Amino acid sequence: MNGKNQVGRHGLPRRALVAMALAAINFGALAQDLKQDHREFEATLYAPYAGDTQGSRSFTLDFSYPFVESAQDIFWRLELLDARGNTVQRWHGIERLTDAPRKVNIDWAARSADPSLADGVYTVRMVATAKPTTDTGGDTSAEGVDAVLAAADDAEEQKWDIVVGEPSVAAMPSAATLAAPLPEPNASPRLRAAMAMATATTQPAYTVYFGNLHSQTNHSDGGGNLASCSGAQNPQAGTAGGPAEAFAYAKNRGLDFLMASEHNHMYDGSDGTNTGADAVRARALYQSGLKAAVDFNAANPNFLGIYGLEWGVINNGGHMNIFNTPELLEWEYNSSGELIGDTFTAKGDYAGLYTLMAKRGWVGQFNHPASSGQFLVNGKALGYTADGDTAMALCEVLNTSAFSVNTTETETGRSSYEGACQKALEAGFHVAFSTDQDNHCANWGASYTNRTGILIPTGTPFTNASFIEAIKARRVFATMDKASQLILTSKGNGATVGETHMMGERFTNYGSLSLTANYSNTNGKSASTVTFYEGVPGRNGTVTVLGTGASQAFTPALGEHFYYAKVTQNDGNILWSAPIWVTQVAGAGDLIIPTVSASVSGSSGNITLSANASDDKGVTLVEFYVDGNLIAGTDVTPYTATLDSTKLSNGSHSLVAWAYDAANNIGKSSPVTFTISNTIIDLVPPVVSASVTGSAGRITLNATATDNVGVTKVEFYVDGSLVGSSTTAPYTLAYDSTLLTNGSHSLVTKAYDAANNIGSSSAFAFTIDNTAGTPAPRPAHLVISQIYGAGGNAGASLRNDYIEIFNPTSAPVSLSGLSVQYASSTGTSWSNTTALPAKTLQPGQYFLVAEFSNGAIGSALPTADATGTINLSGTAGKVALVNGTTALPAAATPTSTNVIDWVAFGTGSSPAEGGVPTATLSPTTAAFRTNECVDTDNNGADFTVQAAAPRNTSTPLHSCITNVTASFEVTSVGPVYNRTTQKFSVTYTLTNKTAAAISGPVNVEFAGLTSGVSIDNASGTHNGAQYVTFANGALAPGQTATVTVIFSNPSKGPIGYNAIIYSGTL
């Protein structure tokens, strides 16, 4: 989806078009979601490159503020600058903006007013900001407008070059000797390579492929019919087609490739969160898109269809493409607690996403980036991480209007993001420039002539693999003219001939360096201006102009640099090369870089940054960079620096040490991740709301809770009484509604944070209407695992009826004082009982109770562990496992709190646990608990009917608990000390790093916990150690579970333990 400064159809800003589309279709909740995501001031500038014979032309300023809640005054300034940055002319004003966009047209007379105006290239720069209107209005003087703009930290800026007089022509070496030149626009892609080989004296090293890496189809909010499209489509409602139709359209329009970049959070059919979404369908839709690309590419070998994700949201987020993920990445859950995707990725957690992408080899692109408020890492816009540098390869430098319906490649609505891309480069990202169209309407790649150029080694097939390899190598350039190409090359180490470095490369240089911009165009256009830019990765400074002209020869300062070329054609279209990254060293005498490693001591207060560094000639300086920012430097061994960690946010950070030698060779350590956990004085309570799903039987209590630091626990109060709690989002609690009377009740939820601040929800009213109640399940309890009732009957396979019991818990359970009891299928009497002996059932052990025999037909049972005389029905009945030997009170449903488990078998049995009995039994079949380790309190779901096969205490143990420690990656934040409670809290996150789902519950046992330390919110004990349940259900591959553990630590000393992760009920 497009970002700031996009102009749509009829010149209206994109978000205003979204607003009008929503007003027309009135999608209710969807409109509210869009309102939150698209309320943002936008200002765009259209400046024609050339004017009339006197240079005269009109500039157009467009202002909009979708969903704004009050009138705004737009303070704006427009300046005309000469080549040296001097102001030639300026305009300014204040526009009142309410719900409709505003347009300002400024006529510039040029030489008609100033005949002395020199030929050349000028820059038109607009700056604008929005402020709520006041009764007195704003100061309309130049000084008044300038003061408001100077004070605004969110002002919009757009600038474009224009020309007065005949554009100059810069002599430039041709790019055709390096990559295959382009044919006429209507020529086929393959003709391009043929022409290259026919016209070049030697075969070029690369073939250029042109396409669009940013578009949407009806898999998200694209695919709008051109006859009616004016904004984002309702997700999955676009009538013009999906990825296959988009690929076909783009191919027919002469593109070599197209990416369908679908919004990751719209696979639920909603721009918000659709709690009724079918998670299986969402995942299948994403897989269908991947398959559509594979199928289209197989049928069209001269074209590459790419299917992937546009991840994130604009407001307080940032959109980014992921080109090669086979998984649907999501943060939304439906009402059943299912992730509406394959892999969980936290909304807004760009550092975490970068790490996931780096681990899995995925590459991405910053889409229409803003210089502030987007791609935040540790609160810093476009914040750098080493994983982010690995994952992010491209940055959109220009986009055309996202909602254009232009099909003649003449769209005038477009915005530049060069400033934000420069910020990313200065932060340390190694990104190349791209330019795309963000098509939401069905004109995929046809709104303008802009393209992203990809260089593939000549002779290498253009496939997904070669495409990703080229992206990772940054062999990419951006062009507003599909008939042009720009390739930056360099020669170094003082040489003027010899090895040539290609744009995208990173290399070490000594002595002089030469840069050459190689340009060509097949439609007779020429380069008017060529500008080289330079910057320093990791400096977080300002990119500057190195020089102009087709080439530059100079000696860089020692250290790290990046350079790129920018060409403006004589028609105003612009090209951007990929950068070259250079490490400049002192000379050829010493090219051996120092070796350095880094470490951190401490996690709060003053921490120590340390480095071990060595060099064959000696280390002269060591510098410490935290999160890409220089913290300190030292030339004294041991190399250490002290840092006040309160200047960092709590959480994970990265340290890299740089070591220099006398020749200024630079060695960099591998990034070291460390965690800061300072005591936070938090007085802000969580915000929480409540809801209830269901009105009978097993219902679900729900809470939505957020906090400025983090929610540690949610408690559920029904009619004022605490009935349970949850420590993991989504916060839900299964509850037996038969414990309540029929009628109205209320739910209040309370949310806690680590500082023990408490937020309470409003009371949520709900109604219970049970016709047949069901007792609540008890965790970690014995279960009935098998029932057979045809013993000795005609055709029976076994001679006795039997009831089988199983221990799924992690502890031995005594059977002393327990009994099994029986009632007919619809009966109310439970007088048929068998008392169990005082035996102990081990974890994973079966127990066989032999009951009545109707004769000698059938085989004998295995040795029974207990015997009784209950005459079970051979087809249907009810069996209960009871804590006690006294018959249950007469009732169709065994509602006594002494009931441990009960099963209604046979379709004629009523009522049944969960409302559904098992299937009907036969003389040869028994009711089997399908998974002895799981009791969902639904007989129909928990049991299957199959051939009778009784098991006793001699049967091999079936453990329900598995040590899965090696299957998880564990990260933690903390400990945080709460002065009020005098407790320590640590927030742990478990991530399933395997390719298979891990069954729940998932528990962490804190074995060997430091003496005197205890866990306040422990779920129980296992093997004598406290444990905490992190997830009650299964965790899919890549899925995470987060819990904050509260430690009582009177000594306030270090907390030690050995974390063991178990799957199963402890």
585-595 tens-digit pLDDT: 876 567 688 99
Output the pLDDT for position 915: 85
Output the pLDDT for position 712: 85
Torsion, Cα of 733, 735, 741, 743 (10° steps): 50
Q: What span, in angstroms and rounded, lies between the C-alpha atoms of 32 and 24?
A: 14
Banded model confidence at residue 238, pLDDT cuts 50, 70, 90: very high
Q: What span, in angstroms and rounded, lies between the C-alpha atoms of 31 and 963?
A: 47
982 contacts: CB under 8 Å, gap ≥ 6: none
Q: What is the pLDDT of residues 617-652, one digit of tens each?
A: 899 999 999 877 788 999 999 999 999 998 887 788
Output the pLDDT for position 193: 37
pLDDT over threshold 90, residue 692: no
Contact 990, 1002 (CB under 8 A): yes
Buried b (16+ CB within 10 A) or exposed e, 166-200: ebeebebbebbbbbbbbbeeeeebeebbebbeeeb
Banded model confidence at residue 494, pLDDT cuts 50, 70, 90: low
Q: What span, in angstroms and rounded, lies between the C-alpha atoms of 185 and 91?
A: 40
Output the pLDDT for position 249: 97
421 contacts: CB under 8 Å, gap ≥ 6: 366, 369, 395, 396, 397, 431, 433
Over range 703-732, report the average pLDDT. 83
Over range 870-890, report the average pLDDT. 93
Cα radius of gyration (the chain): 35
Q: Which of 47-56, 572-581, 932-941 has the lowest mean pLDDT?
A: 932-941
pLDDT over threshold 80, residue 15: no
User: At what angle are helices 29-38 and 14-25 packed, to 10 degrees?
Assistant: 170
pLDDT over threshold 50, residue 602: yes
Cis, bond preceding 235 (omega within 30 deg of 0): no
Banded model confidence at residue 698, pLDDT cuts 50, 70, 90: low
Q: Which of 182-186, 597-601, 615-619 has the lowest mean pLDDT?
A: 182-186
Contact 822, 870 (CB under 8 A): yes
DSSP state of 427: H
Rounded to 5°, the CA angle 320-325-329 comes to: 70
Output the pLDDT for position 185: 39
Q: What is the pLDDT of residues 321-337, one digit of tens each?
A: 999 999 999 999 988 87
Out of 13-17, 67-71, 821-825, give the one with best mean pLDDT.
821-825
pLDDT over threshold 70, residue 867: yes
Output the pLDDT for position 19: 26
Over range 860-868, report the average pLDDT. 95
Average pLDDT of every residue of the chain: 85
pLDDT over threshold 70, residue 917: yes
pLDDT over threshold 80, residue 926: yes
Strands (E), 98-133: 102-108, 120-132
Output the pLDDT for position 673: 87
Output the pLDDT for position 371: 86
645 contacts: CB under 8 Å, gap ≥ 6: 602, 603, 604, 605, 606, 607, 676, 678
Does 64 or 687 have the greater pLDDT score?
687
Output the pLDDT for position 935: 83
Output the pLDDT for position 499: 57
Contact 861, 796 (CB under 8 A): no
Banded model confidence at residue 882, pLDDT cuts 50, 70, 90: very high
pLDDT over threshold 90, residue 455: yes
Over range 738-763, report the average pLDDT. 88
Output the pLDDT for position 392: 97
Return the number of other C-beta atoms located less than 10 Å from residue 127's C-beta. 22
Output the pLDDT for position 598: 95
Q: Which of 354-363, 488-497, 594-603 has the lowest mean pLDDT?
A: 488-497
Contact 798, 950 (CB under 8 A): yes
Cis, bond preceding 66 (omega within 30 deg of 0): no
Q: What is the pLDDT of residues 519-539, one digit of tens each?
A: 999 998 999 899 999 999 999
Output the pLDDT for position 802: 96
Q: What span, in angstroms and rounded, lies between the C-alpha atoms of 821 and 892?
A: 13
Does 1035 or 404 have the greater pLDDT score?
404
Tokens of 357: 């992408």
Banded model confidence at residue 771, pLDDT cuts 50, 70, 90: low
Over range 1030-1037, report the average pLDDT. 80
pLDDT over threshold 80, residue 776: no
- How many CA within 13 A on the CB side of residue 678? 13
DSSP state of 729: S
Q: DSSP string covering 339-364, please?
A: BSSSEE--TT-HHHHHHHHHHHT--E
Output the pLDDT for position 237: 92
* pLDDT cut 70: percent of the chain above it: 91
Banded model confidence at residue 203, pLDDT cuts 50, 70, 90: low
Q: What span, in angstroms and rounded, lies between the C-alpha atoms of 42 and 5?
A: 6
Does 836 or 941 have the greater pLDDT score?
836
Rounded to 5°, the CA angle 289-292-295 comes to: 155
Over range 41-47, report the average pLDDT. 84
Q: What span, in angstroms and rounded, lies between the C-alpha atoms of 900 and 903?
A: 11
Rounded to 5°, the CA angle 648-653-656 comes to: 110
Q: What is the pLDDT of residues 801-830, one digit of tens each?
A: 999 999 988 778 999 999 999 999 999 999
Banded model confidence at residue 66, pLDDT cuts 50, 70, 90: low
End-to-end CA separation in angstroms for the chain: 47
Output the pLDDT for position 588: 59
84 contacts: CB under 8 Å, gap ≥ 6: none
